[in-house]
Amino acid sequence: MDEIRLIEVKEEIHADNKVVAEKLRDRMAAEKTFLLNLMSSPGAGKTTLILKTIETIKDDLRMGVIEADIDSIVDAEKVAAAGIEAIQLRTGGFCHLDASMVEKGLNGLDLSVLDMVIIENVGNLVCPAEFDTGAIKNVMILSVPEGDDKPLKYPLMFSVCDVLLVNKIDYLEASDFNMTALNERVLALNPDIKIFQTSSKTGQGIEDWAAWLREATTTFIR
Amino acid sequence: MDEIRLIEVKEEIHADNKVVAEKLRDRMAAEKTFLLNLMSSPGAGKTTLILKTIETIKDDLRMGVIEADIDSIVDAEKVAAAGIEAIQLRTGGFCHLDASMVEKGLNGLDLSVLDMVIIENVGNLVCPAEFDTGAIKNVMILSVPEGDDKPLKYPLMFSVCDVLLVNKIDYLEASDFNMTALNERVLALNPDIKIFQTSSKTGQGIEDWAAWLREATTTFIR
């Protein structure tokens, strides 16, 4: 299960993206496959966190990954090297995924043998927040070096997510990041969001995040 | 000169963005005002670097700043506090600036008394690379915590820029960032790009970058 398939996707303007997304959610419920949409800035650590997550839960749940990238296939190669089925969507300059692009990716996977698919969206805090991908849950990563003011500047992204992973907390000491201020800003936008502090480097917080993901998935596919 | 004016801009689809951009460049040449477009991911340090740059060259050159932000005015407030005229463009969810948005910002500044205007674009490595803003030079920041693989993933951004600032080099020790690999990847895409290593925190490299900017501006407005 370590081959990489590459699918080229293009923007088709779907006024009915929401409809496609709802249909996708119905399909995932019927297939009993949990679908997670992971978003962040470039370089916040999405791929590395996915690899850590795979390591932690691949014995419990059967996973697949859909990687979105503008031009390269390096992320899908890394995921495939971890023994997980990976589809690479190459967006050719396009800045986010919509539900029909995700559908194309899912069509390349055998959902009947998967409990969960993680979508790694394009690195961008703006456009991906505006498009429903059909995922069951939306998760974003904010890395410590990006700063604690990001909820002020990208409020929609923080508003649409079910989980925030504050990542690269191993940088906290070298930074003036204020975790209390961050939490207040995020919760003011989205009181129901679940916040985890993680570091892929030290492993800190990964177990807690993986426990949430395991629970969300088993609840959905039960 | 420390007031903030806020301009709301909306997307108007300009098939002729390039035409508007060329006209803007002619206007800047006539006004003898240099126009710089600064792009990066969210949190790479654009605003702080602008503040450091202001500190270094404001005695030599008369500067203005156009800040683009989706929803907040925090960046323009910081720039205005440094005694520089700042215009805030609030893009209302829009992911990049185009030439007509920049034109609206420039119309709010008195160009006859300015040698240079810096545009802080929306934090995003995708969309801003696709739209000519009318700037004379394009500069991007890549911060060390984002990783040395970004040229592989956002090649267009690295291709359209005249200068790359590798910023937050104070994080180098805590990171596995490979500067040699980064340089090779960037130069393969864009052999003419000028690369500076900077840290707003320690001040390292700021003088070299400011010298480039001073030279580019004085050459243009001579």
Render B71-137 in DSSP notation, one character per residue.
S--HHHHHHHHTT-EEEEEE-TT--S--HHHHHHHHHTS-GGG-SEEEEE--S-SSGGGGS--S-SE
Q: Is A95 on the interface with B (CB under 8 A)?
A: yes
Q: How far is B196 from chain A (nearest CA, A)?
A: 20
The domain limits of chain B are 4-8+21-217
Correct CATH for B4-8+21-217 of 1.10.1240.10, 3.40.50.300, 1.10.760.10, 3.30.420.40 = 3.40.50.300
Tokens of A151: 């909820």
3-state secondary structure of B27: helix
Please judge whether A123 and B156 are an interchain contact, meaning their C-beta atoms are less than 8 angstroms apart: no
Phi and psi at residue A92, in whole multiples of 5°? Answer: 55, 50
| Measured distance CA(B209)–CA(B165) in Å, rounded | 8
Angle between helices B74-81 and B46-57 (to 10 degrees): 20
Candidate from B72, B125, B156 with C-beta closest to A42: B125
Q: A47, A77, A95, A176: which to substitute to probe chain B, counting the most B Cβ within 10 Å?
A: A95
Q: How many CB pairs under 8 A join A and B?
A: 114
> Do B221 and B34 meet the contact criterion of CB atoms below 8 Å apart?
yes
Q: What's the predicted TM-score (pTM) here?
A: 0.87
- Angle at the Cα of A182 from the Cα atoms of A177 and A188, rounded to 5 degrees: 165
Residue keyed to tokens 């496959």: A33
| Measured distance CA(B133)–CA(B131) in Å, rounded | 6
How many CB atoms sit inside 10 A of residue B57's CB? 20
Q: Is A46 on the interface with B (CB under 8 A)?
A: no
Is the ipTM above a cut-off of 0.90? Answer: no
CATH architecture of A4-221: 3-Layer(aba) Sandwich (3.40)
Taking only the tens of pLDDT, chain B with its 222 residues reads: 345 566 766 555 556 899 999 999 999 999 999 999 999 999 999 999 999 999 999 999 999 999 998 777 888 888 888 889 899 988 877 788 999 999 999 999 999 999 999 999 999 999 999 999 999 999 999 999 999 999 999 999 999 999 999 999 999 998 899 999 999 999 999 999 999 999 999 999 999 999 999 999 999 998
Candidate from B41, B127, B171 with C-beta closest to A42: B41
The nearest alpha carbon in chain A to B147 belongs to A43
